[in-house]
Structures are given as C-alpha cells and as structure tokens.
Amino acid sequence: MKNKNFKVLTCLILLCIIFINSFLQCFAFDKENSNNVDLFVSKANNNIINSNSESTADEIGETTSFALDSVVVQMTNEASLELKDYSVSDFSEVDAISVEDLTEYSTEKIKEQRKNDIEDDKNNVSTVSENDFYQTLEIKLSTNDIEGINRAINALDKRDDIINVQPNYICKAASVPNDTCKNDQYAIEKMELNDAWNLTTGNHSFKVGIIDTGINRKNPDLVNRYDAKLSKSFVDSYSSDVSGYDEHGTHVAGIIGAEGNNAKGIAGVCWDVSLVSLRTAEDNGDSYNTNVIKAIEYAKKNNIKLLNFSSCGVDYDESFKNAIKSYKGLIICSSGNNYKNLDSSFNSYPTEYRLPNVISVGSCDYYDVNQDYSNYSPNFVDLVAPGEGILSTYSNSYIYKSGTSMAAPQVTGVAALIWSKYPNLSVAEVKAAILNNVDKVSYLKDKVKTGGRLNAFKALSSIENKKYTVRYNSNGGLGSMDDLTIIYGKTTCMDQN
C-alpha cells in the first residue's frame, strides 16, 4: 500500500513539474514576443538597441524618441556608388508609401565629379569622397505604430545591400526656460569680446547655418543679418523664417550674430555675419534626424562650412553619424540638459560620436560654474561657454534664456569670427584655436576635456600672433616675418613655429 501511495505521489509531482515547465515556456515565449518590438538591428555596429526590456509596446509608445511612420536605411558603399534613384518598388518587402534620398545632394555631386573628372578636395565642403559615401534613404510606411516599425526593420535587415536599418530618431532642443533677468551681457566680459572685436567683428560674406526651429527675421537685430536667399525649411508646412518652440532658433541666432554697434538691443558674438536658417524642428522643438541629415546635405551643397546645432538626442544613429562625418565643415553642438556624466550609461549625440569636426559645449554661469542642468564629461564634452541667463533676440524683443542651447552658439560665434578673418584655415585649425586657448578653471578640470571656458580673444590672438619660418630650397635662405606673402618660382616650404 505504501509503495502504491508513493507511486501515485511521484506521478503527481512529475505532472506538476511538466505543467509548471510548460507554463514557464509559454510565459517566456510571450515575453520574447512582447520585447521583440523593442529590438532594432544595426548591421553597421552589430549592436542591438533595447529601449526597455520590461515595457509593453503601448508603454514604449508613450515615451518613444523616434517617428512611428518611417525608417532610415543606409546602403552599402558598393550599392551607394551605383547612384541609384530608389522608389517604393525597390522595397517591396515593406509597406512603403514613399522613399526619399536624404543624401540626394551627395549623389548628384558624385555624378558631377565623375563627369568633370574632379578629384576630392578635402578643404572644400561641397566635394564628396566616394570612399565614405553611404546613400541614406528615409522610407515612409503606411503603418503608424511600433509594430509596423519593427516589421519593416526586421524585413529590411535581411538585405545584403543595406548596411544599417533603424528608426527615424528625434533630437530635443536643449534650452532651459528661465525668467531670471540680469542687467547686461556678461559673456562679453567673460570671453574678452571687446578685445576680440578690436581684431575683427566678422565678415558679412561668411555664412553660418543654424539647424533649429527657424529664425524670426523681424527682430531689429536680425533683419540685416538674415540670409533670406539661402534659408530653408525642411519641415512641411513651415517656412524658414517662422520660429516655433518659444523662438528657440531666434534666440540662438541672436547669440551668434545679432547686429552690433547699431544702437539697438544686443551685440552678437560675431557682429557682421550671414545667418542661414535651416529649420528642422517641429513646433514642439523636436527635430527628426532625417530632417537634420537633409540640412547637413544642403549645407554641403551651398558651401556653408559652419553649423550650429543646439540640440541633442539619446539614441545612437549610424546614419546621423555618417552624415556629420562626411561633412567637411565644423558643427558646434550642445552637450544636453540632463546634468548627467556622459561617461556613465546616459548618452548624448552628436557629442558622443567622437568626430573631429564636432565641438561639444556645456553651460556655465558668470562664475564659470558648470550648471546643474549641463551634461558633462572629461572625455566627450570639449569646453563650457556662458549659457546661464543669456540675453538674446526673441520675436520683436529680447529675453533671457538658459541652457546648453545658449552655450553652443557662443562657440559658433567665435568660430565665425576666426573664419571671417582667416578664411583659409582648416576645420582642425579653427577647432584647435578654440580648444587650446580656453580659460582654465579648477572647477571644470573633471567636467570637460579642456578643463576650461571659452575665450574669444585668446582664440583669435593665438592665430594673430603666429610666426612662420620660410625656407627657400633653391638657395638655403632663412628668415622670420610676422606677415608674409610668398611669390617665388622655386619649391618653398613653410613651418609654423
């Protein structure tokens, strides 16, 4: 009897184990399916991005930082060099309603270079290197949900001619509203701008592209600085001179280039400059990366070699990175307003792309204190600039705003001053002039790469004070001069001391 009871008990236990195991397997399968909508595959970096492994599709949708109606693909270099004009029929595996070539300008430029047998010019923003060219496409979908995005990414990822497929990520404007007013533009004193302006106040022929919410050119300090011919909106239904999201772009524009010495309002860092509005942001201040890529392509086409991007995103975006990498000008971006150490798990892009043509800027106040909203990192953020309580243009008036959005255009203005006076300098030389001549601040030692705050006069005068030694190889002559023009029929070489 005991043996019979034991056998029955054993059978019951085994049945329970089988039942529990089956239940767990079903649960695991359901969880995997639930999480599948979070997985976005990138062939380029062999990385899987998981927004939140415990979230349901509905929960993720509420906090999404990408568009729900489109995906972005990058073709391989081999496929890209075919310069194909893609259409919906080329992507039959997804429910596409349109295909837009975000690198349309580069495609046309390569055709032009091939036709005219033009070699790549590393110092010309508008030329395109075929070795670094990856055709980037935005595919609009008939669906408008995360499941549709996931299906499209999984389907396109199987193609051999696509190197990267991803969502259309969003960058956020990086300003912090602040009603506290100060009596003057303290950045003029901190950055020694009065001394810098004795060297140059700018050059109206030099163009600065402002990738933002648009510029309201009605402000009296911007009306003579706004480049209406080149300004362009990449947002449907909005013109380039309409500034949404609390006039964010207008405020940024004034910091860079508000007209100076006109007995009105404020003076921008670079008094005399052409401001090109490149509107990429919706009314809420969000910029889809696809619009930003198109703005960068437009800057290439029009040889705009300096861009201000007072925004940032938290998602790694290979297509966005490649667009910046292929641009031969300089981009100044904000580090972001999350008061995070970017050496931790928190991310901010394009700051963390580690590209040589990007300067990332954090925000400080009059006392050079890194503000409690400014992201920092001694590895990723290059320097700080005044960003707290900055007075600038706003509609027909002026207002104080704070944020890394206000710090970045201070640096952009200085870069514009340098290039206005020394137009033949390379991106590397302008960047070095700015970063190698900051005012060192002990508090910033572990906050930013340079350990310092922007100084306009030091940056400009570092170039002004350079001396050169010229060697004439034919006769061995040697000499040093402050200013020098060489007209000589033999081989010469110039060394910077």
Token pair listed for 386: 């005044």
At 50, the amino acid letter reads: N
Q: Are 105 and 182 in contact (CB under 8 A)?
A: no
Please tell me whether residue 204 adopts helix, strand or coil conformation: strand
Q: What is the CATH number of the domain that holds 418?
A: 3.40.50.200
Could you give the CA distance from residue 336 to residue 370 in angstroms, rounded to a whole number? 12
pLDDT, residue 123, reads 72
Is residue 252, in this structure, part of any structural domain at all?
yes
Do 207 and 153 belong to one domain?
no
What is the predicted pLDDT for the residue at 121?
75
Residues 96 and 67 in one domain: yes
What is the secondary structure of 30-81 as a DSSP string?
Answer: HHHHHHGGGEEEETTTTEEEES-TT--HHHHHHT--EEEEEEEEEE-HHHHT
The answer on 387 and 457 residing in a single domain is: yes
281 located within any domain: yes
Instruction: Find tokens 């056998």 and name the residue.
Output: 7
Closest by alpha carbon to 205, among 423, 458, 380, 358?
A: 423
Tell me phi and psi for residue 336, to 5 degrees.
Answer: 105, 160
β-bridge mates for residue 360, sequence order:
333
Q: How far apart are CA 495 and CA 497, in angstroms?
A: 6
Backbone angles phi, psi at 334, to 5 degrees: -90, 150
In-domain check, residue 394: yes
**130 and 95 in one domain?**
yes
Residues classed as catalytic:
212, 248, 405
Q: Does residue 181 sit within a domain?
A: no
The whole domain housing 493 covers 467-497
Statement to judge: residues 385 and 444 lie in one domain? yes
Whether residue 146 sits in one domain with residue 229:
no
pLDDT of residue 320: 93
Beta bridge partners of 272: 202
* Angle CA 420–423–429, to nearest 5: 105
- 324 and 390 belong to one structural domain: yes
Place of tokens 């006039």: 247
Instruction: Report the residue count for the chain.
Output: 497
pLDDT at 455: 97
Two tokens, residue 99: 């295909």
Number of domains in the chain: 3
Tokens coding 427: 């991106």
Indicate whether 275 belongs to any domain: yes
Cα 469 to Cα 484: distance, rounded to the nearest angstrom = 10
* Residue at a domain's end among 142, 170, 198: 170
Same domain, 99 and 214: no
Whether residue 133 is found in the same domain as residue 194: no
pLDDT in tens, the chain (497 residues): 445 455 555 555 555 554 444 433 333 333 223 232 233 333 333 332 333 323 222 222 334 588 888 999 999 999 999 999 999 999 999 989 999 999 999 999 999 888 888 777 777 888 888 888 999 999 999 988 888 899 999 999 999 999 999 999 887 775 443 323 334 689 999 999 999 998 999 999 999 999 999 999 889 999 999 999 999 999 876 655 666 666 899 999 999 999 988 888 899 999 899 999 999 988 777 888 999 999 999 999 999 999 999 998 888 999 999 999 999 999 999 999 988 999 988 889 999 999 999 999 999 999 888 888 999 999 999 999 999 999 999 988 899 999 999 999 999 999 999 999 999 999 999 999 999 999 999 989 999 999 999 999 999 999 866 655 555 555 555 555 555 555 444 455 555 54
- Report angle CA 32, 146, 136 to the nearest 5 degrees: 110
Q: Do 404 and 479 belong together in one domain?
A: no
Give first-to-last CA distance, the chain, whole Å.
103
Residues with Cβ within 8 Å of 295's Cβ and at least 6 positions away in sequence, in order, are: 209, 211, 232, 234, 278, 280, 307
Q: Verify that 162 and 205 share a domain, yes or no.
A: no
pLDDT at 181: 33
Percent composition of the chain: helix, strand, coil (DSSP 3-state, to 5): 35, 25, 40
Indicate whether 17 belongs to any domain: no
Closest CA to 258 of 249, 246, 270: 270
Round to whole Å and give the CA distance between 262 and 475: 53
Asked if residue 29 is part of any domain, the answer here is no
H or E element, residue 29: helix 2-35
pLDDT at 289: 92
C-alpha closest to that of 274 among 200, 341, 343, 207: 207
183 Cβ neighbours under 8 A, 6+ residues apart: none
Write down the H helix ranges in 228-382: 248-257, 289-301, 318-326
195 and 296, same structural domain? yes
Q: Give domain status of residue 70, yes or no.
A: yes
Structure tokens at 128: 């395109």
